[in-house]
Structures are given as C-alpha cells and as structure tokens.
Amino acid sequence: MSTILVTRPIDEASATAEKLEAMGHTVIIAPMISIDPVSFQIPKDDRSLIVTSKNGARHGLANIGNKARPIFAVAEETAAEARNLGFTNVAVGPGTVRQLMPMLLECGIAEKRKYAYLCGNNISYDISSALKAEGIDSVNVTTYQSRPLRAFSAGVQEAMEEGEIDIALFYSPRTATTFEETAAEYGRSDWLNKIDAVALSTRVKEQLIGPWKSVRYAIMPTEKSVMALIEDMTR
C-alpha cells in the first residue's frame, strides 16, 4: 500500500485519513489551511440558505434555530453536514458552486426566493453576485475565515526528503497553491518529483503547476471519486 499526504484542514483531514487507513494506506496529515469561525449576524428567516462546503454548513448553521429552514447545498457531503445539525429541508445540488446555479435560479424566479450564501472569507465563485445579475436578491454572509499555513512539520519534511510519500491529496485550489509555494519557500520544489498529486477536480488540478511525478484528478468532484482514483492508482 501507499503513504498518502493529506493537506486538508485538520477536521476534514482526520476524516479523510480514517477512510484511507481503512483501505490499508499509511497517512501523513499536513494541513495547509486553518479554518476559524467568525461572528456574524444570522440572516432573516425569509432568506433560503446556500452552503457550498462542510465548513460553511458547520460554522454557518450551528446557531440557527429554525431547522425547517430551506437549505441549498453543494454535494451530498455538505448536505449531510446540514442534516447532522438537524435541518430537514435540504436540497442537494451537483458537486460545484457553479453547477448549483440552475437550481437556485429556478427556485429564485419561480418561488421568488431570497438567498443568503454562508461562506468563508475567500470565495472562488461569488454566487450572490451571479444571482443578483439575474434579478434575484442574494447576500454573502461570512461565517468563517481561512488562512494559509506556510510551514511543514519536521516529520513531513523528513518524509518528503526521504521520498516516503507516494501521493499528495488536494481538495481546494488554495491548498494546492499554498503547498507548492511553501515547498518553494523551503527551496525544495524538487521534493515534488517523487510524488503523484491527486486533485479533487479540474479546477484544483489547474493550480498544481510544480514538477510533480504526475497530476491526476477525480472523475467527479467528490471524495468517493477521489478514493476510487487512489484505489485504481495503488492496485
């Protein structure tokens, strides 16, 4: 089996590590982003809520008392996080923010909905602006902040120096960029030569521009597809 480096924030990394270890792999966790909650004003009840990540659901929905409030979630993992918090009216869209747009537009126009997007301080696609351009009322509500962690632990450095890491996993463009920039700051982009990079999506893959042994991406932007790709790579 393989040694796999997981670069997700620590909470998500731990869950991913459990799945990989169950498949027989050795896992090293090297979070490249820290996620911290921030104070925010809960949107009024007349707004349906948009969540596009587990962090958006976890930090944005925790203090909302009306569990019947309409939630529009990107992908099943985000929807599951909302359901775990007790929400019962959760609509699930495809695996990316842009792919959720048709559902939001249809409901926004037909049902005259207003939206609040529960997001982080860094957003890759401003869905509220896109909805406003179509005449639909939507606001962004920042519920958490992410900051890059530009350092490798001594253990991670040693594992890369010794060529012990077979695969590095990247679930977001920001983690991919931060990892490569950190390696460059150490003056050791050559560490990447022996590692196969695996990206959650084509958008993440596009940020992996370093001298990797190979760069691959999941057929669908879901963790299930990532695990299937790794299983195929390590047979």
Residue pLDDT, tens place only, 3-62: 999 999 998 999 999 999 999 999 999 999 999 999 999 999 999 999 999 999 999 999
- 5/198 Cα distance (integer angstroms): 10
The total number of structural domains in the chain stands at 2
Nearest alpha carbon to residue 196 among 163, 221, 174, 223: 163
Nearest-10 crossing angle of helices 75-84, 54-61? 20
> Helix, strand or coil for residue 159?
helix
Mean pLDDT of 124-130: 92
What are the pLDDT digits (tens) for 195-224?
A: 999 999 999 999 999 999 999 999 988 899
pLDDT of residue 11: 87
Per-residue confidence at 149, pLDDT binned at 50, 70, 90? very high
pLDDT of residue 229: 97
Q: Do 94 and 154 fall into the same domain? A: no
Kindly calculate the radius of gyration of the chain based on its CA atoms and give it in whole angstroms. 19
- 185/123 Cα distance (integer angstroms): 25
pLDDT at 95 over 90: no
pLDDT at 171 over 80: yes
Q: Do 98 and 135 fall into the same domain? A: yes
Please check whether residue 63 is in contact with residue 40, taking contact to mean a CB–CB distance below 8 angstroms: no
What's 53's domain CATH number? 3.40.50.10090
Range of the domain at 10: 3-32+149-233
What are the pLDDT digits (tens) for 133-144?
A: 999 999 999 999
Final residue in a domain of this structure, among 111, 146, 181: 146
Q: Do 136 and 220 fall into the same domain? A: no
pLDDT of residue 124: 83
Per-residue confidence at 235, pLDDT binned at 50, 70, 90? confident
Neighbours of 131 (CB within 10 A): 22
> Helix, strand or coil for residue 7?
coil
Mean pLDDT of 53-79: 94
Task: Calculate the dihedral angle through the C-alpha atoms of 169, 185, 162, 24, rounding to the nearest 10 degrees.
Answer: -10
Q: Do 203 and 214 fall into the same domain? A: yes
Q: Do 133 and 160 fall into the same domain? A: no
- Cα 119 versus chain centre, distance: 12
Side-chain-side CA neighbours of residue 120 (13 Å): 20
